[in-house]
Structure 1
Amino acid sequence: MTSFGDLLGPQPVLLPENTDAEDALLDNKDPVQVAAAHPTASIAWAYLAEGALDRGKNEVNVDTLAGYAFARTGYHRGLDLLRRNGWKGFGPVPWSHEPNRGFLRSVGALARAARTIGETDEYARCLDLLEDCDPRAAAELGLD
């Protein structure tokens, strides 16, 4: 049985740790430098996106658009890693597994940015993706 109770569904994807990037961010290293050193680490892009969106203050401005771009990069880097780890475009990506959070946080940041710039279809798509990955992810990201 999968972690979300679907007997026939795919097993949850548990991404591998990226300890170098994760440790650098936990040590308060500049996320710009972490993303440059570890461009495949969704967590670094999520940090950059969240910081830019916080500076953007839910207004349409350069920070919000930068947050959108950072979030989209983290999202795509996460999709690449998910696919390399057996994800077929659907199925559980549990929030409880820390290495999955870079991808999930990037999707959440993309949702925030899309909502701010009025891209309602993208906002809804991101919320649907979070729900499909882990029903608790949107709430954990403050998107409920």
Structure 2
Amino acid sequence: MNIGKNLLGIPETLLPEETDVLARLAAGDEAVDVAAKYPSSSLAWALLANDAHAEGQIVESYAYARVGYHRGLDALRRAGWKGQGPVPWRHEPNRGFLRALYALGRAAAAIGESEEVQRIADFLNDSDPAAKAAIEAE
């Protein structure tokens, strides 16, 4: 059985590490301040989406996740992604994008945007079938 195996032969996309973002977060900076300083960081936007979701601010969570998703698409394209192929969870720098993608699907479900929910679920699974479970286990 080949579950999770890349059968199309499309190379994995591996995003570069966000060294400055990680340093600011490790230093205790708030996600909102990190996103303001590094607006291209999917990780910062994903963290904001998670914070808003935890506070019951679903529309805000959706908006933050949408920004993180689009910033992630920009980063993927810069890294050579052609619109398909694996974006593995095991590669730490990919996790910001995958978290934003997950958060977008979660918020879309909360506002009843069913087509978006399925599209995001498919995209997350196509990126890495293990990502959803890994995110939910955190």
- TM-score (ref. length: structure 2): 0.92
* 1:96 equivalent among 90, 98, 101: 90
Deviation of 1:124 after TM superposition, in Å, equals: 0.9
CA contact (8 A) 1:13 1:82 kept: yes
Paired position in structure 1 for 2:81 = 87
Name the CA distance, whole Å, in 2 between partners of 1:78 and 1:44.
Answer: 11
Paired position in structure 2 for 1:60 = none
Paired position in structure 1 for 2:32 = 32
* 1:116 equivalent among 107, 110, 117: 110
Name the CA distance, whole Å, in 2 between partners of 1:126 and 1:97.
Answer: 20
What do the CA deviations read for 1:48-81 (whole angstroms, capped 9, x no partner)?
000001111xxxxxx1100000000000000000
Name the CA distance, whole Å, in 1 between partners of 2:46 and 2:6.
Answer: 29
Deviation of 1:24 after TM superposition, in Å, equals: 1.4
- What is the identity, as a one-letter code, of the residue corresponding to 2:130? R
Paired position in structure 2 for 1:136 = 130
Moved more, 6-15 or 104-113: 6-15
| 2:39 is aligned with 1:45 | no
What is the aligned-residue RMSD (CA, Å)?
A: 1.4
Paired position in structure 1 for 2:67 = 73
2:23 counterpart SS class? helix
| 2:107 is aligned with 1:107 | no
Name the CA distance, whole Å, in 2 between partners of 1:43 and 1:76.
Answer: 12
Paired position in structure 2 for 1:23 = 23
Name the CA distance, whole Å, in 2 between partners of 1:134 and 1:88.
Answer: 16
Q: How many residues align?
A: 134
